Amino acid sequence: MKYILFLAILFSHFVAFSQSIEMEGVNLPSTETFELKLAEEYAYRKDGLQVIIGRHNDELGTGVIKLIVKTGDGLGIKGRVSLQLDDGSTLVLEDKGRRAYEDDHSSNIFDLSAAQVESMRKRNLRNVRFSVKCINCFLSTKEGNFVANNDNNVPVLEMVDQLFSGK
């Protein structure tokens, strides 16, 4: 019994530190998933915005950021996303249409340039501004623009620095 418990703990530890983002059939190394608190109650739910940051191209120093939020069928994260850092600077990310919908959660993956990655290595993430829009519907009362704040002071800059230092 002790042996099974040891293996379960060992396996769960391995799974917790083997995060990756799948993009275009490739698994990219990434940070752990962390959650930011929505500034206002989003439609019918109170969950936060889940965020994962991945290393995309080691030579260029580029990355990606995956945003995940519980929506409803037909809705998704769409349009420009703004990342506000703790010094007041803003990083604007363009929507490339890398959306997915699974288990009532919508996700979208956005590119981070080398300059944006460097900014995130030096300054902590304050909030994320994003929009939820109809993807497979005409109109929904659950559409809107939202802000997710780093109220728990998740050390995003340390996570990004560690991820990109491990090239």
pLDDT of residue 144: 85
pLDDT of residue 14: 34
SS3 state of residue 45: strand
Instruction: Count structural domains, the chain.
Output: 1
Q: What length is written for the chain?
A: 167
Mean pLDDT of 16-44: 73
Q: Which secondary structure element, helix H or strand E, spans residue 115, and what is its range?
A: helix 114-122
Please state, in angstroms and rounded to a whole number, the distance separating the CA atoms of residues 167 and 54.
12
Query: Could you tell me if residue 47 is inside a domain?
Result: yes
> If phi over 0 gives left and psi between -120 and 50 gives alpha, with beta otherwise, what is residue 16?
alpha
For tokens 């919908």, what's the residue? Answer: 101
CATH code of 132's domain = 2.60.40
Query: Could you tell me if residue 80 is inside a domain?
Result: yes
Q: Which domain holds residue 100?
A: 20-165
pTM for this predicted structure? 0.82
pLDDT band at 161 (very low <50, low <70, confident <90, very high): very high
Query: Could you tell me if residue 3 is inside a domain?
Result: no
pLDDT band at 77 (very low <50, low <70, confident <90, very high): very high
Query: Could you tell me if residue 95 is inside a domain?
Result: yes
The 3-state secondary structure of 46-88, one letter per residue: CCCEEEEEEEEECCCCEEEEEEEEECCCCEEECCCEEEEECCC
